[in-house]
Structure 1
């Protein structure tokens, strides 16, 4: 497996680590998303412990408004975080 493929698999595994096994495995509810961003992105996203911030992120990601974030919706967050990290590298 290439380095990029390994990182892609890592993103999938992180998503699955936080999604509850009692529901559909490929969705996150708000509590799970909060745990994921608080533990996995504490240096990248600001105010991750603030419930209003989590609510806003969740609302932006949950485009079908079903109260869950699918993997497809989650990768929007990954894309935004990756773009910000890329922009920050060029600022240094």
Structure 2
């Protein structure tokens, strides 16, 4: 039986691959795929972001190699940063 952390890692991988490859490279997220992932999987996060350029900014920040797509490593950076922010918000004050 998988541990809680192993299930979380499996989920992280599955979410990426559910959205990647709908257009072009199946191992990367296009801007459209990233937007769909963010809206579907992190809708509450985006709700608080009123700026229409939020996805553009996220894409620019994540696209470390400048290829116009987000690979798995770049995606994990986003998830890790959001997880750190959530930890600070939910657990630091307890």
Q: TM-score, normalised by structure 1?
A: 0.88
Q: Distance in 2 between matches of 1:22 and 1:62?
A: 17
CA RMSD of aligned residues (A): 1.7
Q: TM-score, normalised by structure 2?
A: 0.87
Shift of the alpha carbon at 1:27?
Answer: 0.3
Give the length in aligned residue pairs: 91
Match of 1:31 in 2: 32
Structure 1 unmatched runs, 5+: none
Match of 2:79 in 1: 78
Q: Distance in 1 between matches of 2:23 and 2:36?
A: 17
Mapping 1:1-92, distance limit 5 Å: 1-21=2-22, 23-45=24-46, 46-47=48-49, 50-90=51-91, 91=93
Runs of 4+ in 1 over 4 A off after TM superposition: none
Structure 2 unmatched runs, 5+: none
